[in-house]
A and B are shown apart, each in its own frame.
Chain A
């Protein structure tokens, strides 16, 4: 199993509060991703990173920011949480990024509830 740890695994917070989810990998993979999973939508990409300090937006990036100061850590921040951000968040990593890539290794997920 790929060494990916997400924390916290569960969090309940109130609307308007900041939240940071952490993803830590021990595989030294260059590429890291944050997805959210919602019923009826599957997995949707929030942000991704292609190296230290190199990040870019995904499909559903509004209301989220990320940072990657070390290869092994990728942080997802909700500056001011809203109820629409209640979801299960998955971190993923990959060795490759280009053509015929697509095999991602996922963490166990972080369930966030915004009241």
Chain B
């Protein structure tokens, strides 16, 4: 039973437009969320995080939105660039829990078309 779900395995977006990657979770104990980005033949790298005390966190072109009532978060990339093409993993854990409790989604492959 996947507690963190990324239901879209892939997403294609035109350069300059907005990319929206979605993530749903079922465990109500999760209140700390992270996004990781992964290029082929490389390890994942941390992108952005959000705690449940916020509903939005922004870092440059990347914004994560959290809807606690819907148990849903999304990552917005504006404007999208070809270098953003990668697999994006959503991850979640209880904020009081340790890093070993991170649960990852299955990932979404984003392709930004020039």
List residues of chain A with CB under 8 Å of any chain B CB.
Answer: 4, 31, 33, 39-45, 48, 56, 58, 90, 92, 94, 96-109
Contacts and interface: CB of A to CB of B under 8 A. Distances in A.
Given A90-B43, A102-B93, 9 more contacts: A31-B99, A40-B106, A42-B89, A43-B91, A102-B34, A103-B34, A105-B46, A106-B43, A108-B42
Contacts, number: 68
Interface in B64-114: 89, 91, 93, 95-100, 102, 104-107
Interface residues of B, number: 26
Nearest to B98: A97
B95 to A, nearest CB: 6
Contacts of A48: 100
Given A42-B89, A43-B89, A102-B49, A96 B99 contact: yes
